């Protein structure tokens, strides 16, 4: 077991991998990450699958088989993705069982084109949950205004949810309240309130967004400050009478997850966000390069000192309106995810046409 990655678990933070490919599974690499680097979960997104399909032949046989079955487009993709994610879920099942469902999860998101469609999101979440047939698979739903009621309804229906595209503490609280409403309705209906959920807050995109608008001394600090503010809200919510009542009825906390924690600035530490956000009762889902960079560090060090109040004042002086940037990032995130989705479907269509031509 790697001493550096294990230290995060000693702090009380889980390490999840932000990657899933057929090769990662077939080569035994994911299993080695579980055994040697303390990885206890996994997240996926369309861009990951797009790159894997486009830049390798690893999925040719699967796509060919799905084409023979008359599958195409979104249906083909979800079946292809679920073949990988079911395997990953099974690898993590011992972790899931050992931790009583705290860890050991994988995630699959609904089509990003549904980000502003409540009914469509809920219908897709139900369908994917049933198709996945794994207790340790989250359905990713964006924390947009239209996504929040879908999150509540999904939780009420007993569907585990990974809330994605959160960029601020206020967005996190709105997602947490949607989760709690769903759980409270289950309690009132006499249903089991233990439905898993995590809330994914994106970190590094803040620093990319303001990098050219602030002095050098302020670079790579806003994402961490935003995340730590969200963490304060998270801990306050867990201490609230409302949550205590829900927990006493048998529910479990919706854990806060740090997403987008790969360092984008080549001048900064490769584990900048990992070190700064090594906080108890959270999850860090890391790109593969970040995970390996962390494992290569001989000493992890201590979390950075708290200085949120001063940081926000300095950014305000520099002309940064964090509320406006949060709204900007959410809009850009929805657009980016939608583009990635369309790129993925184009990639599948192109690969399908190539494979058909070879057969002909």
Q: Distances in Å between the alpha carbon of 291 and those of 282, 333, 337?
A: 16, 23, 23
Location of structure tokens 């830049």: 55
Strand-pairing partners, residue 15, are 39, 284
Closest residue by Cα to residue 115 from 143, 77, 149: 143
Tell me the backbone φ, ψ of residue 141, rounded to 5 degrees: -125, 130
Q: What is the pLDDT of residue 139?
A: 98
H or E element, residue 13: strand 13-18
Neighbours of 9 (CB within 10 A): 14
Q: Which of 66, 140, 229, 351 is catalytic?
A: 140
Angle, CA of 106, 282 and 180, to the nearest 5°: 80
Domain boundaries, the chain: 3-359
* C-alpha to C-alpha distance for 111 and 224, rounded to whole angstroms: 29
Question: Per-residue b/e over 129-167, b at no fewer than 16 CB within 10 Å?
Answer: beebebebbbbbbbbbebbbbbbbbbbbbebbbbbbbbb
3-359 falls under which CATH superfamily? Aldolase class I (3.20.20.70)
Closest residue by Cα to residue 172 from 282, 13, 43: 282
Report helix, strand or coil for 19: coil
Q: Which two tokens stand for residue 287?
A: 């790109």
pTM of the model: 0.95
The answer to whether residues 157 and 128 touch, using CB atoms and an 8 Å cutoff, is no
* C-alpha to C-alpha distance for 249 and 61, rounded to whole angstroms: 48
The answer to whether residues 205 and 258 touch, using CB atoms and an 8 Å cutoff, is no
Q: Which two tokens stand for residue 354?
A: 């190539």
Which ranges of the chain have pLDDT less than 70?
299-308, 359-360
Burial of 299 (0-12, 13-18, 19+ CB in 10 A): exposed
Active site residue 351: no
**Per residue in 101-156, pLDDT tens?**
999 999 999 999 999 999 999 999 999 999 999 999 999 999 999 999 999 999 99
């Amino acid at each position: 077991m790697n001493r550096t990655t294990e230290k995060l678990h000693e702090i009380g933070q889980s390490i999840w991998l932000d990657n899933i490919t057929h090769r990662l599974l077939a080569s035994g690499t994911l299993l080695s990450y579980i055994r040697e680097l303390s990885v206890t979960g996994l997240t996926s997104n369309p861009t990951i699958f797009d790159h894997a399909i486009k830049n390798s032949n690893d999925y040719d046989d699967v796509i060919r088989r799905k084409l023979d079955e008359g599958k195409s487009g979104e249906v083909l993709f979800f079946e292809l993705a679920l073949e990988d994610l079911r395997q990953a879920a099974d690898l993590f099942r011992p972790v899931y069982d050992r931790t009583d469902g705290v860890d050991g999860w994988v995630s699959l998101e609904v089509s990003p084109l549904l980000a502003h469609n409540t009914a469509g999101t809920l219908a897709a979440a139900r369908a994917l949950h049933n198709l996945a047939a794994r207790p340790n698979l989250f359905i990713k739903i964006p924390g947009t205004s239209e996504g929040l009621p879908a999150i509540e309804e999904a939780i009420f229906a007993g569907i585990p949810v990974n809330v994605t595209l959160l960029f601020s503490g206020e967005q996190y609280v709105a997602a947490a309240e949607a989760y709690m409403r769903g759980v409270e309705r289950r309690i009132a209906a006499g249903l089991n309130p233990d439905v898993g959920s995590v809330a994914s807050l994106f970190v590094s995109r803040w620093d990319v967004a303001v990098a050219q608008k602030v002095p050098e001394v302020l670079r790579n600090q806003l994402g961490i400050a935003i995340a730590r503010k969200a963490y304060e809200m998270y801990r306050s919510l867990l201490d609230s009478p409302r949550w205590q009542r829900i927990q006493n009825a048998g529910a479990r906390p919706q854990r806060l997850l740090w997403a987008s924690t790969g360092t984008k600035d080549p001048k900064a530490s490769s584990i900048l966000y990992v070190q700064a956000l090594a906080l108890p009762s959270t999850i860090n889902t890391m790109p593969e390069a970040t995970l390996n960079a962390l494992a290569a560090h001989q000493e992890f060090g201590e979390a950075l000192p708290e200085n949120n109040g001063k940081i926000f004042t300095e950014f305000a002086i520099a002309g940064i309106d964090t509320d406006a940037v949060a709204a900007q990032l959410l809009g850009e995130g929805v657009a980016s995810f939608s583009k990635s989705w369309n790129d993925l479907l184009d990639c599948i269509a192109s690969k399908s046409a190539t494979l058909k031509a070879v057969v002909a």
